[in-house]
A and B are shown apart, each in its own frame.
Chain A
């Protein structure tokens, strides 16, 4: 039995969170420091796993496997591979920076830090879970902390609406996926029924079952990734949430949906994936273009970012739908890149709002003069968002477009004619590439209207961001540049992680 790294990463925030709740309410700094130390600990540990993972050996490593509820074939089974490790690291980084930029919260600071840590338990765990029961168990632990943090500390005007909407949509998403997983569970031979991911992967479900279960599982998780037309919870919920929660929800929680869509949906149901891939492309295209266009016409700074994540998640879905190595690798990188980028954007929106007390673009301007660090970091995020070379967005998005260009409809049965024509995927690649232009437009508009131009008189003596804020900004923007300049630090790892999926698809 090796050291249970994954359990420690997952449950350290839980222990720390409960410990913080036992502190007296007035010891706010003790609560903050505990949260910071715990978050830093998870970053160090997941960073260690990231580099200690043996890429040559591949497969799942740091495995923990204990019987849990044997009557239903449920095991406490954890392990990580090249696809989940970047996500684990991302969660740690968002947690850490989230704690840093929440230092100034005064209203029930103890509860805030405790619930933020407890929220992260489910997030860490789902990326390591190799048992589907364990996956849903951890996923739904986060339901209530999420809801509570939005309605208690959120934006007062919309928090009750946004919090309820987000919570119910995410619960709906997990229920839809759960129904699909139960259908798979029941399809296993009696006596050998199990919730184990690997058991199910070895089961070779019949093509009919795969075709109708795939929309449930992939679709359910895609709702969590804000697929059109069930995407409206994401901007509403993320705008209503307090800054650190927006970072966690948009930065990581949406990735859980996409991660599970691939790890559970495509991996277990390759025939279903082949059948539905063109349909996913059609929906994801709407995400990419439509959400980018909506972001362009927003007047509210935070809504721009909210819709921009919906647009970028569409790119991840496009990458998955290609079902080829290029597209899948790109999608894996995009999940990390976008997670860091969105966390950065939301943290900057939060810093601006905390000081200016408005998020309306017409009322803002010239912030570069007052908070240059935030402005420069926003530019870095913006370049990443547009896919500029030298930033992580480029190394993620180019493979997606290339993969899409190469893509073909693998299972042309019964789909509308135009989806199976050879020009469908290339056309989709061209259309989706248009989003780069729209993204550049809304990012540059936001940069001009928030950070440049005339500084309104009432903001003349706004304070600069704090040292902790600066640290968080440097950490997040630094990561985007590192991955952008030196993609070899992540791309081979992700490639190794998607090998099982490619094998299931019959290629690789």
Chain B
């Protein structure tokens, strides 16, 4: 990669982030100037900000396949960064729309402000190609998320959630930072590409192998926490259950995707020469993560906890794709971008799907006041539209066509099969069966259960808009998969080179 010193034209590459900063300022001003009763509009303001950033991203940051390091190598606006930024902006947009109808937080200006800040941090997580910049980005998004998780001030569970998230997060962040310092210490550079060039192959070249492996393990621990891979997942169910539901949605998709963006960037830029070592670890993590996540999800009675464990399991499938990378790349003929493309596609479709599921949960639990699965009883009779959205979301998570989850899983499994990891494909298939079981249980309650009361579920306009976009998106991404696969593979190529 060529590293270019700063030029004014580089600023355009950060257009979405600049829009977000402006949007944050607008939210702050509007928050001060609005009366309490009109604050729900703040959510729409935040959503418009995300929408504007999304458009700016599509207009100005669509990169060429051969991207240079900009701002003196601090960031690189490549297709990988592009795909993930679009994903984060979309997640932010949907979260803001979902939050407008949430009790308490929906009327807090700070909520949308911090949410916007967190997305800025995530965007830089995808962009950064420098250890310092990367760590700043991770902390910027994480600290915002700790605050968001604890933002229901009257709820003990939310406070517990925020504190727990903060303690676990701070600890693993230190481990990650220690790994970074080792990398800097042994290579003398903070730029990822330069570090990668110095480290090279395992056992070859000047850098001793042991400290590199130590740094690799620390990176895996630090990011294993972010993506909630087993055995670093213990925080996730409690945090997901206690946090306000829109934030649970945001954590389960955007935060996880950001963790994967950094994991991909580090493993494929700094440690490609150590692929033989980390492939085994990632494969083991994938197996553990999907199995433990699915087995525990089966026993849940609370829908947020069920989706928390399900999202742990989904991280396992994604790791499966990452494990396929190394064997494919050494195969010579087939590029590893196939495997990484599968990871990126899966993250995109998973983001879309999970946001729809949580969108329905927010609406239902606002009326029923709890998050028990039993509360969904008879939803199909009371509100067929909401039931249909939930159906689309859960079946997509379960991997049923024509929804995006089917092609997502097939793509991952195909990559793993190509990489001679058939045992992992079999494990994934068994897990898909277990997962379908508990998704069907929820759908059975929705479609077969009798309504307990006459309560209705009013759906506001921005909300209905978000759910429609999401549900149609899940179908379209699954049926017209080609163009999305193309972007995902281009992103994979950029992660590798």
Which positions in A face B, CB cutoff 8 Å? 67-72, 133, 136-138, 140-141, 143-144, 147-148, 151-152, 160, 164, 167-168, 171-172, 175-176, 178-179, 182-183, 185-186, 189-191, 193
Q: Across the interface, do B440 and A147 meet the contact criterion of CB distance under 8 Å?
A: yes
CB of B486 within 8 Å of the partner chain? yes
Q: Which of A67, A71, A136 has the most CB of B within 10 A?
A: A71
Determine the chain B residues whose CB is within 8 A of the CB of A172 once the complex forms: 433
Given contacts A172-B433, A182-B414, whether A137 and B406 have CB atoms under 8 Å apart is yes
Q: Given A137-B401, A186-B420: A71 and B333 within 8 A (CB)?
A: no
- The complex places the Cα of A282 from the Cα of B95 at a distance, in Å, of 58
B489 interface residue per 8 A CB criterion: yes
Is there an interface contact between A71 and B425, defined as CB atoms closer than 8 Å?
A: no
> In the complex where A69-B481, A133-B410, A186-B420 touch, is A144 in contact with B391 (Cβ < 8 A)?
yes
B411 near A137: Cβ-Cβ < 8 Å: no
Query: Which B residues lie within 8 Å of A175 (CB)?
Result: 429-430, 432-433
Give the shortest distance, in Å, between A78 (CB) and chain B (any CB).
Answer: 16
Residues of A within 8 A of B418 (CB): 185-186, 190, 193
Pick 20 A–B contacts, CB within 8 A, sort by A: A69-B485, A70-B482, A72-B485, A137-B402, A141-B400, A144-B391, A147-B443, A151-B448, A152-B448, A164-B437, A168-B437, A172-B433, A178-B410, A179-B425, A179-B429, A182-B417, A182-B425, A183-B422, A190-B334, A191-B333
A83 to chain B minimum Cβ distance, whole angstroms, is 24
A182 to B417, CA, bound (A): 6
Contact call A182/B413, Cβ cutoff below 8 A: yes
Q: Is the CB of A143 within 8 A of B417?
A: no
Q: Which of A71, A164, A167, A176 contacts B485 (CB 8 A)?
A: A71
Chain B residues, Cβ within 8 Å of A69: 407, 481-482, 485
Given A71-B486, A72-B485, A190-B333: A141 and B425 interface contact (C-beta under 8 Å): no
The CA-CA distance from A319 to B262 in the complex, in Å, is 56
**Contact with A186, one of B406, B414, B432, B486 (Cβ below 8 angstroms):** B414
The answer, among B417, B429, B447, for a CB contact under 8 Å with A176, is: B429
Contacts of B338 in A (CB 8 A): 71
CA distance A164 to B489 in the complex (A): 37
Find the residue from A138, A168, A178 having the highest chain B CB count within 10 A.
Answer: A178
CA distance A182 to B341 in the complex (A): 17
Instruction: Identify the interface centre among B331, B417, B430, B444: most chain A CB within 10 Å of its CB.
Output: B417
Query: Interface residues, chain B, CB within 8 Å of chain A?
Result: 331, 333-334, 338, 341, 391, 395, 400-402, 406-407, 410-411, 413-414, 417-418, 420, 422, 425-426, 429-430, 432-433, 436-437, 440, 443-444, 447-448, 481-482, 485-486, 489
Q: Which residues of B contact A190 (CB under 8 A)?
A: 331, 333-334, 418
Q: Which residues of B contact A141 (CB under 8 A)?
A: 400-402
Q: Whole-angstrom distance between the alpha carbons of A144 and B443 in the complex? A: 10
Contact A164 B440 (CB under 8 A): yes
Interchain CB contact under 8 A, B482 and A68:
yes
Point out the residues of chain A lying under 8 angstroms from B444, CB to CB: 151, 160, 164
Pairwise interchain contact B436-A171, C-beta atoms closer than 8 A: yes
Q: Is the CB of B401 within 8 A of A140?
A: yes
B-side contacts of A171, CB under 8 Å: 432-433, 436
Nearest 5 CB-CB pairings of A with B: A190-B333, A182-B417, A186-B417, A175-B429, A190-B334
Given contacts A190-B333, A191-B333, 5 further A-B contacts (CB under 8 A): A68-B482, A167-B440, A171-B433, A175-B429, A191-B334
The residue of chain B having its C-beta at the shortest distance from the C-beta of A184 within the complex is B417
Our pick among A72, A138, A140, A189 for the contact of B414 (Cβ within 8 Å) is: A72
What is the distance, in angstroms, from A226's C-beta to the closest C-beta of chain B?
18
CB pair A168–B436 under 8 Å, yes or no, is yes
Which residue of B has the minimal Cβ distance to A143? B400
CB-CB under 8 A for A185 and B481, given A71-B489, A151-B447: no
Cα-based distance from A71 to B420 in the complex (angstroms):
19
Docked Cα-Cα span, A182 to B440, in Å, equals 26
Cα–Cα, bound, A191→B334 (Å): 7
**Closest CB-CB distance, A48 to chain B, in whole Å?**
27
Q: Which residue of A lies closest to B342 (CB)?
A: A72
Quote the shortest CB–CB distance from A161 to chain B (angstroms). 11
- Least CB distance, B219 to chain A, in whole angstroms: 30
Whole-angstrom distance from the CB of B80 to the nearest CB of chain A? 17
A71 to B433: give the CA distance in the assembly, Å.
Answer: 27
Question: Is B482's CB under 8 angstroms from A183's CB?
Answer: no
Q: How far is the CA of A176 from the CA of B429 in the complex (A)?
A: 8
Residues of A within 8 A of B485 (CB): 69, 71-72
Q: How far is the CA of A179 from the CA of B402 in the complex (A)?
A: 19
Residue of B nearest to A14 (CB): B402
- In the assembled complex, the CB of A473 is this many whole angstroms from the nearest CB of chain B, namely 31
Taking CB atoms, residues of chain A closer than 8 Å to B334 are 190-191
What's the least CB distance linking B420 to chain A, in Å?
7
CA distance A141 to B333 in the complex (A): 34
Least CB distance from B447 to A in Å reads 6
Nearest CB of chain A from residue B301's CB, rounded to whole Å? 17
Residue of B nearest to A67 (CB): B482
Residues of A within 8 A of B437 (CB): 164, 168
Once the chains are docked, how many angstroms separate the CA of A193 from the CA of B406? Answer: 19
Docked complex Cα distance between A167 and B395 (Å): 13
Q: Chain A residues near B429 (CB, 8 Å)?
A: 175-176, 178-179
The distance in angstroms between the C-alpha atoms of A68 and B429, with both chains bound, is 24
* Chain A residues with CB below 8 A from B407, complex form: 69
Complex CA gap A149/B420 in Å reads: 39
Nearest chain A CB to B496's CB is how many angstroms away? 16
Most buried by A among B407, B410, B426, B482: B410
* B448 CB, min distance to chain A CBs, angstroms: 5
Give complex CA distance A136, B331 in Å: 28
Cβ of B351 to closest chain A Cβ, rounded Å: 20
**Chain B neighbourhood of A70, CB < 8 A:** 482
